[in-house]
Structure 1
Amino acid sequence: MSLLRVGLLGCGGIAKRHATAIAGLSDRMELVACCGRDESKVAAFAEEFGATPHTDLRQMLDASKLDLAIVALPPYAHTGQVETIAAAGVNLLVEKPIALDVQRADAMVEAARNAGVIAACGFMYRFGDAVVRWDHARAAGETGRVGMFVGQFHCNSLHADWWRERAKSGGQMVEQLIHIVDLARYQLGQPQTVYARAANFFHRDVARYDSDDSSAIVLGYDDGRVAVLNATNGAIPGRWDKLWQIVGERMTGRFTGWNAAVLTHTDDVRSETIDTQTDVFVAQLADVCAAIRGRRAPRVPLADGAATLRIVLAAWESVKTGREIRL
């Protein structure tokens, strides 16, 4: 079976993670092209990963005969590239957040659907062994009904220049906490209401930093379920604490990462510990590859990227208006 030909749009840090993952699946795919606006940066990336450099997306599509394009652009840089790739008949993996507005996100999903291409969203947390084990337990009825999700994303970094500007990143809720929001939505479904508070508390004196760095979101469900999520960029430098807890009728999961959790059966109080080293970027790409080969939906379809984006954008609307937003 021939290798899938992969192209990368965007040559930043997240693109390097994908390029490394592609190398880890060398029996299934190969990176043949990369594309970005900065010619010198693209050339260096291409040399490092053995790809052909491009500074024009259409040129890359015409020249490379891609089976899969990975879109690893900052959220503000989406200006129709996904739609162009889909129209060319190329399958897609789009990094989150897939856009900064609902209209753009819906246009991406619709373009992929109309073109009949496989389209996935880069919520790689869902591919961790601890997350997958919980999913299997839930599917088998071990957890009982899930009624609560509590999660956080804590760090302390200045990040890239574009990240600090809300107009370009969407803010911390939209660009980082969205991973935890997606896990909550995946477990509980789309909420009926969203209420949030957020502020630039720790970095208000940093030039050109107007992103929120302290936030909390409550997701409400008409049947009484609830999710409570928070984020800060004022915590411990050098640490990225992405933690969450899921409470079901018969099982509680305490996650310290996508590969690490303690699952406790609450009916007889016995625990199971998961602690592995699975590369979720590799696992995610393996799933996308299998979806392309089998012409099936990926485990995290692009439509999920739009659904979760709706929640974090509603959270920001709640921050601005001081109201609970009904979806």
Structure 2
Amino acid sequence: MSFNVLLVGAGEINFGSVEGPWNHTLRLERKLSSRLRVIALVDPDTARAKSALEGKLASGAAPSYTRCRIFPTITEAAAGLSADERPRLVIVGAPPFARGTDISGQDLELQLVQAFPDAALFVEKPISSGPVDASWRVAAELERRKTLVSVGYMLRYSAAVQKMKQILAHNNITVMGTNARFVMAYEYARKLPWWDKSRSGGPIIEQATHFCDLSRYFGGNIVLSSVSAHTVEHDEAPGQLSAKRFDEEVIPPEHRLPRLTSATWKYDGGAVGALTHAIALHGTTYDTEFEVYADGYRLKLVDPYNAPKLHVRRPGLAPEEVYSFENDDPFFGELATFIDAIEQRTDTSHVLSSYNDAVRTFEFTWQIRMVSDTSAKSERERRMTA
């Protein structure tokens, strides 16, 4: 029996790029094989959509796309699809400024549940770049409609992350603290909207969101009032970047990204968390680590996006244990798990990132952004009066 899928967004999230491992269509093809029937591709840039579709029709996956039609809007897709073309799954891979709120033009999820009330939604992270209160209203509407939703925090599905969870559960460990470090290689990041925090939300909301989500996954909910954050700004001496490949001058100064953000906070359960995000490295190789501390234990996850390794220190054991997970594909894991949940419907417990939970991560990243903006403003005023 065929499985109807509607794609929203013809960019790298759904179709891949040379810059990273995102490529949802590739995982759909692997999971569903000949059952996959992509019935529509929605993107206002119809030329880009046509190019993406032509690439698929020229590939070995062509049978899954032969009946795919291109629409510029959800409304036109709903009007143009027949009853047997209604999607079971919608992949929402449009940019975050187009989704996650109830504001007209930024409300893709609400448009989709109105047009296709029986479809499940897979929504990319972060859920939005708009106001948090609007995202909570979307969450309430999705819950009211009983829409099955999964959000793309794929690191939760990583075999390394699940190994960490197993170690904690098996040894009845209470987490004492978490420490996340994300150092970006920026030389080939040339998309102007990404460097404009009025459009992207900023590097914590848009990029470090995965590590903020991992922090919550291990530490629990955040005491938002406890968040403290400081930044190195673009106009400070340590913030001068020598390998930019674009003209940052076209972005208003107040909208330019901080080069480094350092944040700390308290968890509801008493543990403490920390995050450092830096735009600092040249080339293409990022430097990312995530640590969990507890009595007698230190779990350190290195390079979770590409070739994950987990270093484990246990009580009374030396040297530390090292586990490698190079062949793991958490992108496949999250989509495969969600498709299984759609087909079974009775058991959604393996869907690890619900929409409500993703809003909590979004709320947390916004808190870091707001507190760091306030800190930067105070520092700027201090320098002016010094």
- For each residue in 1:41-79, what CA deviation from the matched residue of structure 2 results, as whole angstroms up to 9, or x when unmatched? 011112223342221212324414111111112222221
RMSD over aligned Cα atoms: 2.1
Task: Tell me the CA shift for residue 26 of structure 1.
Answer: 2.6
Shift of 1:223: 5.3
1:114 equivalenced with 2:144 (yes/no)? yes
Cα distance in 1, alignment partners of residues 14 and 288 from structure 2: 21
Q: 1:86·1:111 contact (CA, 8 Å) conserved in 2?
A: no
The corresponding residue for 1:206 is 248
CA contact (8 A) 1:260 1:273 kept: yes
Count residues with an aligned counterpart: 321
Aligned-partner Cα distance in 1 for 2:296–2:276: 25
Give yes or no for contact 1:156–1:236 (8 Å, CA) kept in 2.
yes
More displaced, 20-29 or 180-189?
Answer: 20-29
Q: Could you say which residue in structure 2 is the equivalent of 1:34? A: 41
Report the 3-state secondary structure (helix = DSSP H, G, I; strand = E; otherwise coil) of the residue aligned with 1:99: coil
Distance in 2 (CA, whole Å) between partners of 1:31 and 1:265 is 48
Amino acid at match of 1:276: E
2:228 matched to which residue of 1?
195
Bigger relative contact order (CA 8 A; separation at least 6): 1
Residue matched to 2:309: 260
User: Contact 2:262 / 2:275 at 8 angstroms: preserved in 1?
Assistant: yes
1:279-319 deviations in Å (ceiling 9; x for gaps): 22111100111111222332211112100011111111111
Structure 2 counterpart of 1:96: 125
Gaps of 5+ in 2: 16-22, 57-64, 100-105, 377-386
1:302 aligns with 2:355: yes
1:247 equivalent in alignment to 2:289: no
Distance in 1, Cα, partners of 2:69 & 2:50: 8
User: What aligned pairs does 1:150-229 form with structure 2 within 5 A after superposition?
Assistant: 150-157=179-186, 158-192=189-223, 193-198=226-231, 199-200=233-234, 201-202=239-240, 206-209=248-251, 210-221=256-267, 224-229=270-275
Higher percent of residues as strand = 1
Q: Give % identity.
A: 19
Q: CA deviation at 1:115?
A: 1.5
TM normalised by structure 1 equals 0.91
Provide the residue aligned with 1:25 in structure 2.
31
Superposed displacement of residue 320, structure 1: 2.6
Indicate whether 1:319 and 2:372 are aligned: yes
Deviation at 1:224, TM superposition (A): 4.0
Q: 2:336 aligns with which of 286, 308, 323?
A: 286
Unaligned 5+ runs, structure 1:
none
Q: Which amino acid aligns with 2:284?
A: G
Q: Is the 8 A contact 1:264 1:272 kept in 2?
A: no
How far apart are the structure 2 equivalents of 1:131 and 1:30?
A: 32
Question: Which has more radius of gyration?
Answer: 2
